[in-house]
Structure 1
Amino acid sequence: MAQNEPVPVFETVRAHETRLKAYARRRGADGHEAEDLFQETVLRLLQRARRAPLLNPLAYAFRVLDNLMRDRGQRPSFEALDDGEPCEQPGPGALLEGRELAEAFSRAIAAMPRLRREVYLRRRLEGQGYDRIAQDLRLTPEAVQKHYSRASAALRKVHQDGFSARGEG
């Protein structure tokens, strides 16, 4: 079991098509633009994957989508706030910290052994139960639980280390 095995690009991105299109719409693209952006994202990912393996195609897909929207001049649409209402959106510093933490999580997931990563993503992102994952991967439910708990512990450590480095933990 190699730690940094490439993940199937097309299958991964196709499985998260709805999520990627919703992300584009939240950032200001209409339905047709979101579809076009998704297709261009898939094309660029496949081109990139031919040159070198991608360890985390989903994270790379979001990065490509961000870049495409930036290139097209897409900006999120904001509604004007009433002068008396405080803004509930996070400030730039919080957004930057969140992005840094997301990138740290992405690196940690990519560094996990293939089986642990598979178990974690199936359980956390796809909501599959331990028994289903165990059956699909030919493991015992206890082994699946162990993989999941170790992956969760590794990500908790990334989270704690990130806040400790900023003096907040």
Structure 2
Amino acid sequence: MPREDGWDAVQTAVQRYVRSRSGRHDIADDIAQETVARLVELGRMQQIGSIFALAFRIADNLLTDMHRRERRLSDEVDDEWQSEEPSMDRVLDSRRAVDVFNRCLRRMPPLRREVLIRRRLNQESCRSIGEDLAISAKAVEKHITRGMIDLRKALELAGVDLVGHD
């Protein structure tokens, strides 16, 4: 049986082993601790030939058990719990985005606001908008571009990221 500092060496070796075998740093400490606890218990009942070899075998078994348990749990997820609805974070970000859009539209010059709404929301052509407002199609495009830049800046300033969600 190792001394106290010997168990630390075993635990450190098992942590490295688990990290390299599984690629998961989140479970290495737990498996190493459980491995040492089992080694201590076994050492009280019988002579252990190679502590490190047995430690790695115990760690392998614990990894296998954990993998099976996680797979079984993920297989048990009921389809009823899965939803096609957007996440609450997505809903809240969307609501914030609508608020930002509304505030930004209210602050825009009236002509830019009208052009942007007619083109982006009402899907009117640039030529149709230009004819109705007595401006060129090129001027309509510039108002749209400037309006979209204003909206993007307002979203950035508000910290709303509409693209970052799945």
**TM-score normalized with structure 2 length:** 0.46
The structure in which a higher percent of residues are helix is 2
